[in-house]
């Protein structure tokens, strides 16, 4: 299958085709980002009106081949909640919150793992691994189960029991680690190297970035749910340096949205 996008390293700019199961850049070890060969045409924008509110509504703007069915649980299409009192306090009359907690697994991680699992399964993967402090482990467990694949999740032993119970409920193999999330990442990478499992850790493969951290769908749905009015800003939380994905790439997506007039 010829895929209508390529991958480009976010750091050194090296490129490669999208075939197989890409991880990080072979030259410098930094993450790949998806680059599309062309923008969707007017017919794609017209079809948006006929589709339901999930992230796959924007399939032409996603790494999904023609006729390909995504691994989906109905993620995306999350609501914009008006924050009128808080907006009035800070002089932002149209301040709104994108409520990602309504995704199937309770966080925006559902978007990224849906895209990552979809592409990896399309490339032949049947086994996945991820380190987690909570949400990513739940999402991988759910989407691997949806795809009929296996998943191993490494989590700190101190992870809240409710999180661990959800991971187990979706059928993933849960390995508790005496340490922090970094130790879990080390264990996950070792398991991936040993077993051939696809490592869907943050910034370790391109499609979790594109589906979740990339924010393209959040930008699109935010624009459309706000009646496509021009906006003056977008804010996204970032807890640490490893979370640069949720903040760095969305602005590129918003810029693309404006340039391509994707609200059609």
pLDDT tens digits, one per residue of 28-46: 999 999 999 888 888 888 8
Residue 192 near residue 215 (C-beta atoms within 8 A):
no
Measuring CA to CA, which residue among 109, 88, 121 is closest to residue 153?
A: 109
Spatial separation of the C-alpha atoms in residues 108 and 98, rounded to whole Å = 10
Distance, in Å, from the CA atom of 4 to the CA atom of 132, rounded to the nearest integer, reads: 32
Residue-wise pLDDT tens digits, 158-178: 999 999 999 999 999 999 999
- Greater confidence (83 vs 242) lies with 83
Alpha helical stretches, state H, the chain: 42-47, 84-89, 109-122, 135-147, 161-169, 181-195, 206-208, 216-225, 244-260
Comparing CA positions, the residue from 20, 24, 22, 1 lying closest to residue 11 is 24
- Higher-pLDDT residue of 32 and 228 is 32
- What is the distance between the terminal CA atoms of the chain, rounded to a whole angstrom? 30
CA 180-183-184 angle, to 5 degrees, is 90
Cβ proximity of 147 and 71 under 8 Å: yes
C-alpha–C-alpha distance, residues 82 and 85, integer Å: 9
Domains of the chain: 44-264 (3.40.50.1100)
pLDDT bracket for residue 229 (50, 70, 90):
low
The predicted pLDDT at position 3 comes to: 77
Q: Residue 107: helix, strand or coil by DSSP?
A: coil
For the stretch 75-131, pLDDT in tens is 999 999 999 999 999 999 999 999 999 999 999 999 999 999 999 999 999 999 999
Which residues are registered as beta bridge partners of 175? Answer: 154
Token pair for 103 = 């995704």
- Let me know the angle formed at the C-alpha of 150 by 146 and 154, rounded to the nearest 5 degrees: 110
Tell me the chain's radius of gyration from C-alpha atoms: 18
């Amino acid at each position: 299958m010829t895929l209508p996008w390529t991958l480009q390293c976010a750091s050194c700019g090296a490129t490669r085709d999208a075939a197989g199961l890409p991880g990080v850049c072979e030259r410098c070890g930094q993450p790949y980002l998806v680059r599309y060969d062309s923008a969707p045409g007017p017919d794609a924008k017209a079809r948006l009106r006929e589709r339901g509110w999930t992230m796959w509504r924007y399939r032409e703007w996603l790494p999904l081949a023609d006729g390909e069915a995504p691994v989906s649980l109905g993620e995306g299409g999350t609501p914009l909640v008006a924050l009128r009192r808080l907006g009035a306090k800070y002089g932002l009359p149209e301040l709104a919150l994108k409520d990602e907690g309504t995704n199937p697994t309770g966080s925006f991680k559902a978007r990224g793992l849906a895209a990552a699992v979809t592409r990896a399964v399309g490339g032949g993967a049947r086994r996945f691994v991820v380190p987690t402090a909570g949400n990513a482990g739940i999402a991988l467990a759910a989407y691997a189960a949806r795809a009929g694949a296996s998943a191993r999740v490494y989590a700190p032993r101190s992870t809240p029991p409710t999180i661990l119970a959800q991971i187990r409920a979706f059928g993933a193999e849960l390995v508790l680690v005496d340490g922090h999330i970094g130790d879990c990442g080390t264990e996950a990478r070792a398991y991936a190297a040993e077993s051939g499992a696809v490592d869907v850790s943050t910034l370790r493969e391109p499609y979790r970035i594109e589906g979740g951290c990339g924010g393209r769908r959040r930008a699109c749905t935010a624009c459309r749910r706000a009646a496509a009015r021009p906006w003056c800003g977008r804010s996204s939380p970032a807890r640490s340096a490893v979370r640069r994905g949720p903040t760095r790439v969305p602005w590129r997506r918003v810029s693309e949205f404006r340039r391509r007039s994707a609200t059609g």
